[in-house]
Structure 1
Amino acid sequence: MVTPEMFERAHIDDIAEVEAAPGIFIKMLHHTDEGVMVRLIRFAPGAVLPMEDTHDLGLEIVHVLDGTLTDNAGSYPAGSILYGKKGSSHIPASVEGCTIFSINFVD
C-alpha cells in the first residue's frame, strides 16, 4: 500500500536555482550519493556549456521542454527526447534559450 510518507514533495518554485556556468541554471530535483541526478536545466539565449559533458557513469535522458537545445550532433526543439549512452559526450548549448529535464543514471 502506498502512503503519503513514502513520497518527498516540493514545488519547483521552492527549489534553489544555481548558475552552473555562464547562462546555465540548474535546479537539482533529486540526487543520490551514487551519482543519480534529476535536474531542471535552463539555458539562457546564447549559453554554451564551456566544457564537454561526459556521461561516464551511465545513461542520460533529456526532454527538451521549451526552446531548442543544440550540440555538436544537431538541434533538438521542444518535445525532443535524447538518450546519451554511457561513455557518450557532447557540448550542449542554446541559441534561443531552452529548458530541459535531465535524468542521469548510474550503471
Structure 2
Amino acid sequence: MTDMIWSHVDEVPARKFTDGITLRQMWEGAGGRSCHVIDIAPGAVWPNLDVHKPGPEEVFVVSGVFNDGVRDYPPGSFIHCPAGSSHVPQSLTGCRLFVFYPEG
C-alpha cells in the first residue's frame, strides 16, 4: 500500500499572491508537479498574463464564477489549459479554484 498524503484546505496557510488573490499549496511532487487552492476575491484580477509553461494547467472551479479574461466558468467547470496557452485569471463575484500542474 502506498503512503497517501492528505491535508485540509483550512489547515494549509494561505500565501498572498497579490491584492485579492491567495494561494494554498496543497501538494508538491517530483519535477515541480503541484496542486493548489486559489481564492480570488470579488473584483480581483491576476496582475499579468498567466502563461502555462513548461506544462499544462488543469483548473476546477470549486465555487463562485471564474473568468479567464474571455468567458465565465460557473462552479463545477473543468478547464484544461495546454502548455503555451495563457489567460488573465479574475472574478467579478469571487471564486475558489483547485489547480493542478501535472508537469510543473
The one-letter code sitting in structure 1 at the alignment partner of 2:60 is: H
Counting aligned pairs with the same residue, the percent is: 33
Q: Is the 8 A contact 1:62 1:102 kept in 2?
A: yes
Task: Select which of 74, 78, 82 maps to 2:75.
Answer: 78
Query: Which 4+ runs in 1 deviate beyond 6 A?
Result: none
Using the size of structure 2 for normalisation, the TM-score is 0.92
Aligned CA-pair RMSD: 1.5
Higher strand share: 1
Q: Quick check: which has more Rg, 1 or 2?
A: 1
Q: Please give the TM-score of this superposition, normalised by the length of structure 1.
A: 0.90
Task: Give the gaps of 5 or more residues in structure 1.
Answer: none
Q: Which of residues 11, 14, 23 in structure 2 aligns to 1:14?
A: 11
The whole-number CA distance in structure 1 between the counterparts of 2:5 and 2:93 is: 34
Q: Find the aligned partners of 2:97 and 2:8 in 1 and give their Cα distance.
A: 17
SS of 2:42's equivalent? coil
Q: Tell me the number of residue pairs that the alignment of Structure 1 and Structure 2 aligns.
A: 104
Kindly provide the amino acid, as one letter, of the partner of residue 77 in structure 2: S
Distance 2:6 2:33 in 1: 18
